[in-house]
A = this chain, B = another copy of it.
Amino acid sequence: MIILIQCSDRVGLVAAISGLLSGKGINILSMREYVDVEANRFFNRVVCEQYPNPEILINELRSILPEDARVDINTEPQKKIIVLVTKEYHCLSDILVRNHFKTLGAHVQCVIGNHEVLKDICERFEIPFHLVGHENKTREDFELQLLTTINKHSYDYIVLAKFMRILSPAFVESFPMQIVNIHHSFLPAFAGANPYRQAYKRGVKIIGATAHFVTNQLDEGPIIEQQVIQVDHTYTAGEMMKAGKEIEKGVLAKALKMLFEDRVFVYNNKTIVFS
């Protein structure tokens, strides 16, 4: 089981936490801690043997920690996710294949698309696909239908696997740090639309992709993972896009792995990732 703690820093936190756990006979398998000195913030991830009553443990931990402590215990190794897509297959297929072979670290509950093109690949893997079209609809109606569809399933995270609609503040606020997006550039460079076209015009020698939590600042949410590749003058904007898709797939896979293994903390619009 995994314990995630974040709170104000003070002397003796590690001793107090590990003392409490070993006092209860809970064997610590691994422990990572980090202090953001500038923010005076303590982050702690403990992997330990299962304990029969996690709720009681949370309370006991809280009683020895600063008042602002946030303590989460995850006893369930498999997360549940809902995937939102538009037309591009590369990220979704990668998720579906890993889900199928049980190496994703999560169960895909369903896929929701605003176009129908990816229905077929979902059906091949026996994953429910829901079409929620955005055409001839107000954004309110579109998002209402999204919400209704989402709420028919249980989930820990919503993954935007190349979902090409911007979500409203109201929608995003319903899922704080639960929506993960893959952006097709090395943010903050080329935020917004058509990043590969922008990158091509600027003549950059490196392109990248960014997986981040979605907040109400467009493309400004906490970054989980970024990767890049070298390109050169021989790449057209289209070839940059093709090369970029490989990176997008890899970055999203890495970010989801970190998330599903409970390795990601968020604070001050940044992530702490115990990779």
Contact = CB atoms under 8 A, between A and B. Distances in A.
A236 interface: yes
B228 A228 contact: yes
Interface magnitude class on chain A: 35 or more
Interface stretch (A29-37, A56-64, A70-78, A163-171): A29-37
Interface stretch (A8-16, A129-137, A152-160, A174-182): A8-16
Interface of A is mostly: mixed
A269 interface: yes
Nearest to A126: B124
Contacts of A253: 246
A244 interface: no
A222 B203 contact: yes
Interface string A87-101: 001100110010011
A193 B190 CA distance: 19
Contacts of A222: 203
A193 to B, nearest CB: 15
Interface in A1-24: 11-12, 14-15, 18-19, 21-22
Given A97-B89, A250-B246, A227 B203 contact: no
Contacts of A11: 22, 27-28
Nearest to A20: B15
A194 interface: no
A206 interface: yes
A187 interface: yes
A206 B188 contact: no
Interface string A191-211: 000000000001111101000
Contacts of A226: 204-206
Interface string A233-275: 1101000000000100010010000000000000011111101
14 contacts: A11-B27, A12-B18, A15-B15, A15-B21, A31-B33, A34-B233, A38-B236, A89-B97, A124-B124, A186-B189, A187-B202, A202-B270, A233-B272, A246-B250
10 closest residue pairs by CB, A with B: A203-B270, A15-B18, A189-B189, A12-B22, A205-B226, A233-B272, A93-B97, A15-B19, A14-B18, A124-B124
Given A30-B35, A246-B250, 9 more contacts: A15-B15, A29-B37, A30-B34, A34-B234, A38-B236, A203-B223, A205-B223, A228-B228, A246-B253
